[in-house]
Structures are given as structure tokens and as C-alpha cells.
Structure 1
């Protein structure tokens, strides 16, 4: 019997985390200044769309016990632990596209996106 053994790097199993661009930080802080009891935003995922998963953003007035906090320059982003395997390493940006302003997600785990850009697959 031919058994191949290998090694693994424990850092491959450590969360890289999520990052916020300066534009995303600015927008989250702006939202916080306009809403009472607003602490930040929660980025989760749900099964949807033609590619498999969609991003879900909610305001946070009280974090959930299983949320992980990523804070940059006073802007707080919570992520449910269950979403981390799908979005770990994601950069959250806030961009202007024509007349629209939206959060954009640069997710290194996304293998493909649907044509409309509303969902992704891993």
C-alpha cells in the first residue's frame, strides 16, 4: 500500500480577517453619526442567486454572541463566525458608480460571480 504523507501549515487554518478601505470606513462612520444606537454594520451571506451566495449587510445596534469584530479607523464591521469560511480575506470597499453609491466586496474566495454581480460561488 502506497501511503503519501504530507505536511500542513497551521497558518492555512487561521482567519486572515476582513479589511475596510478608507472609503468604507468613512461611510460606516457617517452612518453611525446619523443613527442613534448605531454601532456599525454586519456582513453576512445567504444562499441566493444563480451563483450560490449573496452578501447581506445589516446595521448593528447589538452584536450577536458569535460575531467577530473587525475595526478600522473607528469603523466597526461584524461578521458571523459561520460566514467566515466563505468571506475570509475579503476587502470591503465603498464606491461611486455613476449615480449610485454601493459597498463592493473583493472576496479572494469567490471562484465565480453571476452576470449581474449580485451573487458569488466558492
Structure 2
């Protein structure tokens, strides 16, 4: 009988977290400065689209108990713990594309995206 052993590396299961670019941090700070009581932005995921998941953005006035907080230069990004398996390691950017300005997500876990870029699969 031949036994196969796999190696286990605990770092494979450690959260890497999310990062904000300076442009994303600046935009979040701008939003919070214009709305009293606003603490930051929440990034979550929902089942949607042809690829499986979509990003959900919202504002935060009261953190949820399971929120993880990622911060850069005073800008706070809140992420529900249950979203982490889908977006861990993501870089959040804020870009201008033509006349549009929007948050952009560079997600290393995304295996594919739909043609319109609205949803992703892991």
C-alpha cells in the first residue's frame, strides 16, 4: 500500500487583507468629509451576474460586528468577514475611464469575469 502525503502550509490559509491605492483612499476621505457621521465604505459580495459574484459597495455609519477594517491614510474600508474568501488580497483602486470615475477591484482570486466586467467567478 502506497501512502501519499500532502504538505500543509498554514500561510496558505492566512488572510492577506485588502489594500487601498492612494486614489481610492483619497476618494473615501472625500466622501467622509462631505457627510457627517460617515465612517467609510463597505465592500462586500453578492451572488449575481453571469460569472457568479458581484461587488457591493455601500457607506458605513455604524460598523457591523463581523466587519474587518482596512485603512490607508485615514480612509477606512469595511469588509464583512464572510466576503473575505472571495476578495482576500484585492487591491481597491479609484480610476477615471473616459467620463466615468469608479472603484476598480484587482482581485487575485477572480478566475474569470463576465464580458461587461460586472461580475466575477472564483
Which range, TM-score by smaller chain? over 0.9
Q: 1:8 offset after TM fit, Å? A: 1.3
Equivalent in the alignment of 2:5: 5
- Number of residue-to-residue matches in the alignment: 122
Deviation beyond 2 Å, 4+ runs, structure 1: none
TM-score (norm 1): 0.98
Q: Secondary structure at the match of 2:41?
A: strand
* Equivalent-residue separation in structure 1 for 2:2 and 2:77 (angstroms): 48
Equivalent in the alignment of 2:27: 27
Equivalent in the alignment of 1:49: 49
* Equivalent-residue separation in structure 2 for 1:46 and 1:7 (angstroms): 33
* Equivalent-residue separation in structure 1 for 2:40 and 2:87 (angstroms): 18
**Residue 64 in structure 1 maps to residue 64 in structure 2:** yes
TM-score (norm 2): 0.98
Alpha carbon RMSD of aligned pairs, Å? 0.6
Q: 1:25 offset after TM fit, Å? A: 0.3
